[in-house]
Amino acid sequence: MRNEPSDILNEFRLGDLAAFETLFRLHQRAVYGWILRIVRDPSAAEELTVETFWRIYRAHARFQPSRGFEAWARRIASRASLDWLRTQRPETELPADLPAPATTDPAITDEIRRKTAQAFQRLPPRLRVAAVLAIIEDQPHKDVAAALGVSVSAVKLRVFRALRLLRKDLEKQGITP
């Protein structure tokens, strides 16, 4: 986590645009990366980064410098991403430029992979975000909890429920995971 000079944080809190730009330049990459991990769509991630920084600036008076900018920004970014996921139809096609797995298990066919990805898209967004960050992106539960504004046990519960629903969905399609 970066440490910004406290005067920049205090100036931002007072609504100073130059301080906000400094913070934007320092954190846009991290915020964009975090959003991309959740939404997995580069163009949506760009739009959501803009939306996140707009929300950040709008809430500048509520910012507490002692709690750090990055964690706060990440929390706002997670909320913006979740709002966006809620507006997407579950049938939306996955972006074509999704990364391929580094190592593929021969027991898992392309068809199973595709159906799993589609079933994952059908999960409630709240569960999907927790699962994508904790399982796919391998982020520590503590960080996921902080970003989502919930407890670590709530993250674990969401991940468990996501996996259970995913399994049920696949079983309905005749796939026994």
Partner 1 sequence: MSTNDELHMKKLLQQALPPVEGNLEPGRDLWPSVLRRLDAKTSALPWFDWALVAGLIAFAAFFPASIPVFLYYL
* Residues forming the site for partner 1 (CB under 8 A): 21, 24-25, 28-29, 32-33, 36-37, 40, 42, 45-46, 49-51, 53-54, 57-58, 98-102, 104-105, 108, 112-114, 116-117, 120, 131-132, 135-138, 160, 163-164, 166-167, 177
Residue 104 near residue 116, CB atoms below 8 Å: no
Minimum gap (Å) between residue 135 Cβ and partner 1? 5
Minimum gap (Å) between residue 137 Cβ and partner 1? 5
The residue among 8 and 166 lying less far from partner 1, judged by its C-beta, is 166
In this structure, what token pair is assigned to residue 147? 């970003």
The residue among 79 and 167 lying less far from partner 1, judged by its C-beta, is 167
**Cα–Cα nearest to 15, from 57, 71, 72:** 57
Instruction: For residues 37 and 136, give the distance between their C-alpha atoms in angstroms, rounded to a whole number.
Output: 9
The residue among 113 and 141 lying less far from partner 1, judged by its C-beta, is 113
* Alpha-carbon radius of gyration of the chain: 18
Strand (E) or helix (H) holding 74: helix 69-87
The residue among 6 and 108 lying less far from partner 1, judged by its C-beta, is 108
Minimum gap (Å) between residue 127 Cβ and partner 1? 12
In this structure, what token pair is assigned to residue 117? 């990805």
Q: Terminal CA-to-CA distance of the chain, rounded, Å?
A: 39
Minimum gap (Å) between residue 155 Cβ and partner 1? 14
